[in-house]
Amino acid sequence: MRTTRKYKILQIFTLILGTLAMAAGSTVEAQNTPALTVAAAADLQPVLHSIGEEFRRQSGARVEFVFGSSGNLQTQIENGAPFDVFLSADRGHAEHVISAGKAARGDEKTYAIGKLVVWTPAGSKLDFSKSGLKTLLGSEVKAVAIANPAHAPYGQAAVAALQHEGLYDQVKAKLVLGENVAQAAQFASTGNAQAAMIAMALAQSPQLARAGNTWEVPASDYPPIEQVMVPLSGSRNPALARMFAEFMLSAPAQQVLRQFGFAPPESSR
């Protein structure tokens, strides 16, 4: 008796699952594909939405953004990811993509200079305006979050700044590494780390700007974070990819970048 009932239930389950699977299969094809897919470093997340909208208004082409760490995106591109443009958070990863033959040398252009800041959650008593990065030496600072300097440009900048101020050896034991700047910020915004050294752009995003305070690390403390882009040779629409790269340097896009705390590319020279 019992087993036949269980068997019935199993039958019904299989039927439902089968129907769902068919429904899922049919809807996937219905979605249209974007004209352009741009692989972008994580620190651009707050910025690119409005730039994409503006580009669409001007060109009529829909741009989709894929965010990740520059290192991950580089690996994906080198292994044939179908992206049209690569917006790296530094020069090195863009150079790698060129060396791997996935983009033409000479096409790479600096589109912005990133700024490093220290972000502290609201309610924190740390005041960086007085003694700068030395504030991190305080005993109330248990953990300082930075992006992993092994592969994240802002992590490298953070280490460079600490070294430049002669603080690295003392702060080293407090460093906790996020996979990227966004995760470093998360360590601090959840209250697990007392400060995070992250990208200005991220600190300016509505969520973080509301939830804490930002102090800009003096630009003389670290080498400029040149954010370099390159249109990819595997693009199915190379003309449009180039157009987007040019658009990143146009006045409207540069204005958005400035709003989020990036310095214009010419300021590095």
Q: Interface residues with another protein (CB under 8 A)?
A: 69, 71-72, 74-75, 96, 121, 142-143, 145, 148, 150-151, 175-179, 183, 186-187, 190-193
Please tell me whether residue 262 adopts helix, strand or coil conformation.
coil
Please say which residue, 132 or 149, places its beta carbon nearer to another protein.
Answer: 149
Q: Give me the least distance between CB of 2 and another protein, in Å please.
A: 15
CA atoms in the 13 A half-sphere facing the CB of 253: 22
CA–CA separation, 41 and 22 (whole Å):
36
Q: Give me the least distance between CB of 117 and another protein, in Å please.
A: 20
Please say which residue, 93 or 115, places its beta carbon nearer to another protein.
Answer: 93
Q: Give me the least distance between CB of 153 and another protein, in Å please.
A: 12
CA–CA separation, 92 and 110 (whole Å):
12
Please say which residue, 51 or 118, places its beta carbon nearer to another protein.
Answer: 118
Q: Give me the least distance between CB of 228 and another protein, in Å please.
A: 17
Question: In this structure, are strands 36-41 and 63-68 parallel, antiparallel, or unpaired?
Answer: parallel
Question: What six digits make up the tokens of 199?
Answer: 């990208």
Please tell me whether residue 63 adopts helix, strand or coil conformation.
strand
Please say which residue, 36 or 202, places its beta carbon nearer to another protein.
Answer: 202
Q: What is the dihedral of CA 177, 178, 180, 182, to 10 degrees?
A: -130
Q: Give me the least distance between CB of 59 and another protein, in Å please.
A: 34
Please say which residue, 1 or 150, places its beta carbon nearer to another protein.
Answer: 150
Return the amino acid letter for 157: A
Question: In this structure, are strands 36-41 and 85-87 parallel, antiparallel, or unpaired?
Answer: parallel
SS3 helix, strand, coil % of the chain, rounded to 5?
A: 50, 20, 30
Instruction: Report the interhelical angle of 92-99 vs 70-78 (nearest 10°).
Output: 10
Q: Give me the least distance between CB of 249 and another protein, in Å please.
A: 28
Please say which residue, 69 or 204, places its beta carbon nearer to another protein.
Answer: 69
